[in-house]
Amino acid sequence: MNNLTTKQAIKQQTFVDAVRAAGFSNPVKRSDLNMVANDLGMKYAPAWIVQNSTYRSTVRGHFNVPELGSDFEIAAPVVAAPAPAVAAPVAPTMNAEISAIRGATAGDMSLIPNRMPTYVPWGHHDTCETVINSGMFAPMYITGLSGNGKTTMVQQACASLRRECFRVNITSATDEDDLLGGFRLINGNTVWQDGPVTTAMRRGAVLLIDEIDLGGHLMMCLQPVLEGTGVYLKKINEFVEPAAGFTIFATANTKGKGSDDGRFAGTNVMNEAMLDRFDWTLEQEYAPKGTEKKILLKKMKAFGREDNEFAGMLADWAQAIRKGYEEGHVDEIITTRRLENICKAFSIFDCRETAINMALARFDDDTRTAFRDFYAKLDDTIDAGVDHVVESLDDLEDNVLLNLSVSFEDKDEARAQGARWDANNKKWTITAKQYNDNRDCWQEWNPEVAPSNTETVCPF
């Protein structure tokens, strides 16, 4: 590489310095090289690395960048040498002998999460990052409604700090063998294999216990682990102490007291002694409207179909439904995850209405209709389905009852116009005569013939 021009050498040195400043060490994944290139205004990682077999690592998809611990060198540019950057700490790896004999979880593979280009840090992200970066053992319990980014937050904090993260999803059947390890038949031999908890301890990694409130009494094997002093593996008579940097995050939809309303089926009342071993509990809400819109716009950009207006209306829609949920007017909720799914459907079908309908298909008929009609009030491009309903009311007898889809905010106005509340069916009603006398008044609440012997639920 001594024949490089000064200009080429400067560009290469700039890229190498950027990789070093980002905290990477050899070998570096292609996706991470692309991320650094993007930060420098380049679309992809430079060809002089990824298309040069000299720099290709033995690890598939990884490359050795000169001056990051390999034997490679590049021509020094004729510029003042930059101040040496402080290298980021390298996550500890398991002893090769232990890995080979016991078939340890992940082996020599790095479990540092990939950075998500669509991720928007918010809420408790800085708290998680600060705790991880401190290097102290400080187990934390994160609780909140589904689909609001609890798991992603921990993973992206690890990605930002270049820390390994062992994610373990809990079920009612999870036991000590799943978590701490057990004997396995490998290559014809019965050998001990560390579980993800034990491996994370040995490697000084972050242990992410997902949906911890789904576990039962068999989870009590984690009590000594939650104390941070180590765990005794009685089956192989070995005491494992956690390496520096090991800590634990647990996520759950409840605070370990079960779900009285049945919304989170399968959650259990957790042992108080286990709950008390978590240093702190973080309550994760849904992102504020402005932040959620930013998340959706990033998702739309990644999916290749951006619509700023649509993203804003989706955020407004979800926030209003969540408010109704908190006040007890609806039993369902629109999660951030569901909004992201709408963005994906929008990019595929190029139609707002189709995207909304596909996202709402999982709900029961009444909820689906109420949520869709409510969104239609925000978006003029969506047909609220009023016209075909109105046409079917032309020849009705005056005393026929019609149901109205009245939101909680509009109930006082509906009552003032003459609508009555049917406590049995939980619907606002009017007669066909009232409708025909003042169609402009009632049309916005989607009048439809009240079905007999059918119980419905007021959506808001």
How many Å apart are CA 399 and CA 408, to the nearest integer?
A: 26
Positive or negative, the CA dihedral 418, 421, 426, 431 is: negative
Contact 170, 195 (CB under 8 A): no
Q: How far is CA 131 from the centre of its chain?
A: 20
How many Å apart are CA 149 and CA 151, to the nearest integer?
A: 6
Query: Token pair of 20, please?
Result: 């070093």
Q: What is the pLDDT of residue 263?
A: 65
Query: Token pair of 289, please?
Result: 């409207």
- The CATH-assigned architecture of domain 96-283 is 3-Layer(aba) Sandwich (3.40)
For residue 26, the 8-state DSSP code is: S
Question: CA triplet 343, 166, 302: central angle to 5 degrees?
Answer: 20
Tell me whether strands 181-186 and 280-283 are parallel, antiparallel or unpaired. Answer: unpaired
Q: Is the backbone peptide bond immediately before 27 cis, with ω within 30 degrees of 0?
A: yes
- Which residues face 141 on adjacent strands? 250, 281
Q: How far apart are the first and last CA of the chain?
A: 69
Question: CA triplet 420, 422, 425: central angle to 5 degrees?
Answer: 150
Q: What is the pLDDT of residue 394?
A: 62
Q: What's the helix, strand, coil split of the chain in %, to 5? A: 40, 15, 45
Q: What is the pLDDT of residue 395?
A: 63
Between helices 6-21 and 30-39, what is the axis angle to 10°?
A: 110
Q: What is the pLDDT of residue 13?
A: 83
Q: What is the pLDDT of residue 259?
A: 66
For residue 459, the 8-state DSSP code is: -
Q: What is the pLDDT of residue 451?
A: 61
Q: Is 139 helix (H, G, I), strand (E, B) or coil?
A: coil
CB atoms near residue 397 (< 10 Å): 8
Q: What is the pLDDT of residue 391?
A: 44
Question: CA triplet 371, 144, 279: central angle to 5 degrees?
Answer: 175
Residuewise pLDDT in 10s, the chain (460 residues): 444 556 677 788 888 888 887 777 788 888 888 888 887 878 778 877 877 777 877 777 788 887 775 434 333 333 444 444 444 444 434 444 444 434 344 555 678 999 999 999 999 999 999 999 999 999 999 999 889 999 999 999 999 999 999 999 999 899 999 999 999 988 888 999 999 999 999 999 999 999 999 988 899 999 999 999 999 999 999 999 999 999 999 999 888 877 665 566 677 788 898 999 999 999 999 999 999 999 999 999 999 999 999 999 999 999 999 999 888 888 899 999 999 999 999 999 999 999 999 999 999 988 999 999 999 989 988 765 444 344 456 667 788 888 888 888 888 888 999 999 887 777 889 988 898 888 888 888 888 887 643 333 334 5
pTM of the predicted model as reported, rounded to 2 decimal places: 0.62
Helix (H) or strand (E) holding 439: helix 439-442
Residue 307: C-alpha distances to residues 54, 91, 338, 343, 441 (Å): 44, 40, 17, 9, 33
For residue 327, the 8-state DSSP code is: T
Contact 341, 367 (CB under 8 A): no
Q: What is the pLDDT of residue 284?
A: 93
Contact 443, 390 (CB under 8 A): yes
Sequence spans of domains, the chain: 1-88, 96-283, 289-378, 386-449
Ranges of beta strands (E only) in 202-347 are 206-210, 231-233, 238-240, 247-252, 280-283
Query: Token pair of 359, please?
Result: 């996202």
